[in-house]
Amino acid sequence: MLEKDAQISPERIKKELIRTYGAIVEHFNVTRRYPWPETIMFSKIVPKGCTVLDLGCGNGRNAIYLAKKGHKVIAVDFCPKMIEVARRNAKKAGLEEKITFIVADVVNLPLNNSLVDAALYIATLHHLPSLEERRESIRELKRVLKGGGLALISVWAIESEDYKKHKRYRVDYMEEGDVLVPWKRQADGRIFYRYYHFFAEEEFRGLVTQENLRIVEFFYHAGNHYALLRKV
């Protein structure tokens, strides 16, 4: 488990994030039932029946909504137990045939080039513990996205009140914007710490500005920065 006062490597952070999300998965599932409002918006602007990639799918709430709207979905998460719960939720919704679930890291996707028509990357990029991995994940998204395809990315914003609240969980070795956010598990009250990187607006813009990616819209809402991108 991540400890607030422990000095840990990026590799250890990722391993512990997988363990943490596996440990809180059932509590996470009952508190994260509905799709993000931005997912609903996104589903309205991508072509009907297209293939959408959901990166960091968690318990499948966004993937299930997209499948209900007639899209084919490839849902990826690095936590095997999250994928198990997402599959269970999809089966309960009668949508298991419309969603392909994959356990994988967003920096190394087991997908062919130009495979998907659109991509959703919600509340996941900020879990990557190094700048190089964040850049690589955007390159991977771009690689699997078809030309002309849209991608919506969200990250927690350093300008938000949440950062002011959580920055007390920073430790000395961390970079600006890095925090460990506590999760109190309902079953036993145990505290788990999850790594987040809060992004400044210009930092996020710089990250998503890559060759062959054009920013269609950039906006802030409810403590998050969003970038709507098109592959050109």
pLDDT digits (tens, 9 = 90+) for 96-148: 999 999 999 999 999 999 999 999 999 999 999 999 999 999 999 999 999 99
Question: Does residue 191 sit within a domain?
Answer: no
Question: Does residue 17 sit within a domain?
Answer: yes
In which residue are the tokens 């072509």 written? Answer: 47
Which residues span the domain enclosing 139? 10-156+200-231
> When comparing pLDDT for 2 and 100, which is higher?
100
Question: Does residue 84 sit within a domain?
Answer: yes
Question: Does residue 171 sit within a domain?
Answer: no
- Domain at 60, CATH number: 3.40.50.150
The pLDDT tens digits for 72-105 are 999 999 999 999 999 999 999 999 999 999 999 9
Residue 25: predicted pLDDT: 98
The pLDDT tens digits for 138-193 are 999 999 999 999 999 999 999 998 898 887 766 666 788 999 999 999 999 999 99
CB atoms within 10 A of CB 57: 27
Total-model pTM: 0.94
Question: How many domains would you assign to the chain?
Answer: 1
Residue 152: predicted pLDDT: 99
Which residues, 6+ apart, have CB-to-CB distance to 75 below 8 Å? Answer: 54, 57, 60, 63, 83, 86, 99, 100, 101, 102
The CA distance from 152 to 168, in Å, is: 30
Question: Does residue 211 sit within a domain?
Answer: yes
Residue 204: predicted pLDDT: 98
Question: Does residue 187 sit within a domain?
Answer: no
The pLDDT tens digits for 7-60 are 567 889 999 999 999 999 999 999 999 999 999 999 999 998 999 999 999 999
Question: Does residue 193 sit within a domain?
Answer: no
Question: Does residue 184 sit within a domain?
Answer: no
